[in-house]
Amino acid sequence: MNQRTSNTSRRQFLRNASRYAALAAVSGALPLPLNQLAAQSTQLRIRDVRAYPIYINQRSEGLLDAPSFDGDDDPMRWRFGGPFEQLPSAIIAVIKTDQGITGFGMGAGGGAAVEIIDKHLKHLLMNADPLNVEQLWDQMYTSGVLYGRRGLFPMALSAVDNALWDIVGKFAERPVHELLAADAGVSSRDRIPIYQTNGDFVQGKAAGVRNFKRTTYGGPRMPRLAMEAFIDSVLEARDLLGEGVRLMTDCVSRDGTVEWAVNFAERLRPANLYFMEELLSPDNVFGYAELVDRIGGRGEKWTRIACGEHEYTQYGFDVLIRLGSAEIFQPDITWCGGTTAGRRISQLVEAANLEIIPHRGGSSWGFPIALNSPSCSMAESFPSGSEILDAMSCKVDNGFVIAPTLSGFGTMLTEEMVLDFRLSSRI
């Protein structure tokens, strides 16, 4: 870039900054609704789009390893997720503008999702105005609808959509959760109680946590001894925590049947569970509706049926809601299609008078949706995982997740950190 071009860009940036500052002053320093923000003639343009598979934990390193099975009936054949399984195959999109703003967004799908971004979505983003974030989402989703309504495509879309929202927040010099609140005409909360998934429950309770979840890999193929051990651990946790604490379970089931789930739930009835998550395959939407009838809100209502962690976009969640397949919906904002999809999912859930508790709601990516969903009563928080995960997690204090005050998603991510944690540099 020559000196003349650099000076022109600098003057344009200052004019845009002054325009936004004046508008913010008129509105009492509150963030502008998105349609007004995008309507400003900013001339902001996307100049670079890249994405990288990143190292999350030891599971990430093993994604490309060839598996070894003990025969055709090895139970691990039912658990093998391959190289594109969601969390271990995390990716980070890095989008840069011509005015020096860089947005970071988490998605999943590993190298396959990176290929989708580089060979497809990048062409729709280059030279576009990132402030038109929802229009860009509609264009990207529509362009891939014939080959990617679920799975890899929405996971790739999540990364770039989140990066665009990060740019919008940084441009407006506001946290994303405040922008969402302003767009909805409401005041955003500044904290939500956490729920802790696994880890030391006694230690968590001592730190102020009042909501806990125990996970297992369930389903009809779950070994009997493992099932008995899990049931005992949940009942023991209830005795340990007392009745004033919420306790939940997650089966992460890929092949559960309705009858198996009902019997399993009955065994755990004394634990007084707030919800039971993923008792069935995510595709068994009619089975989930039957569970709501038999053990959930339309039945005896001694627990709630939760699912949606592995569902995609507002269209998939609309089906779940219309069929009555759950009472608590758990979109992951880094998988379901990003913040744009997450906000639309939240609107559907709230309109149906149901409950939304985003998966990993205590992460930087999930928390804005959690904060701005009136029905959301908890934000999921995991024990510390790695430096880069910590950089994408919100602060937790005395059992509450605290809203970030930095602009965008408020992460501690830098391009140097993303490159340092590139998966290719570690295998």
Q: Could you tell me which of 131, 128, 122 has the C-alpha nearest to residue 157?
A: 122
Indicate whether 141 and 173 sit together in one domain.
yes
Would 273 be classed as within a structural domain? yes
The answer to whether residue 409 is domain-embedded is: no
Strands annotated E in 244-308: 246-250, 276-277, 305-307
Which range, 37-41, 53-57, 334-338, has the best average confidence (pLDDT)? 334-338
Query: Across residues 317-326, what is the average pLDDT?
Result: 98
- Is residue 413 one of the residues assigned to a domain? no
If asked whether residues 29 and 143 sit together in one domain, one would say yes
Residues 119 and 226 in one domain: no
Q: Which residues contact 2 (CB under 8 A, 6 or more apart)?
A: none
Does 97 lie in the same domain as 81? yes
Residue 216 has pLDDT above 80, yes or no: yes
Give pLDDT, residue 423.
Answer: 85
- Whether 78 and 196 map to the same domain: the answer is no
Query: Are residues 160 and 300 located together in one domain of the fold?
Result: no
Q: Are residues 151 and 290 in the same domain?
A: no
Whether residue 93 lies inside any domain: the answer is yes
Residues 205 and 150 both lie in one domain: no
Residue finishing a domain among 182, 208, 226:
182
Instruction: Identify the CATH number of the domain in which residue 88 sits.
Output: 3.30.390.10
Mean pLDDT of the chain: 88
Domain residues for the domain of 113 are 3-182
Where does the pLDDT of residue 12 fall: very low under 50, low under 70, confident under 90, or very high at 90 and above?
A: very low
CATH of the domain at 308: 3.20.20.120
What are the distances in angstroms from CA 380 to CA 84, 160, 233, 364? 23, 23, 20, 11
Residue 205 lies in a domain: yes
Give Cβ neighbours of residue 18 (< 8 Å, ≥ 6 apart).
none
Rounded to 5°, angle at Cα 193 from 191 and 197: 130
Taking residues 160-181, report their average pLDDT: 96
Q: Is the pLDDT of residue 46 over 60?
A: yes
- Mean pLDDT within 124-134: 97
Of 326, 286, 27, 340, the residue nearest 168 (C-alpha): 340
**Residue 80's pLDDT is what?**
82
**Domain contains 425:** no
153 and 240 in one domain?
no
Q: Does residue 146 lie within any of the structural domains?
A: yes
Percent above pLDDT 70 for the chain: 86
Q: Are residues 355 and 387 in the same domain?
A: yes
pLDDT tens column, 67-123:
889 989 888 888 888 888 877 899 999 999 999 999 999 999 999 999 999 999 999
Whether 415 is covered by a domain: the verdict is no
Pair 168, 219 in one domain:
no
355/381 Cα distance (integer angstroms): 18
Count structural domains, the chain: 2
| Residue 62: pLDDT band with limits 50, 70, 90 | low
Q: Do 339 and 363 reside in the same domain of the chain? A: yes
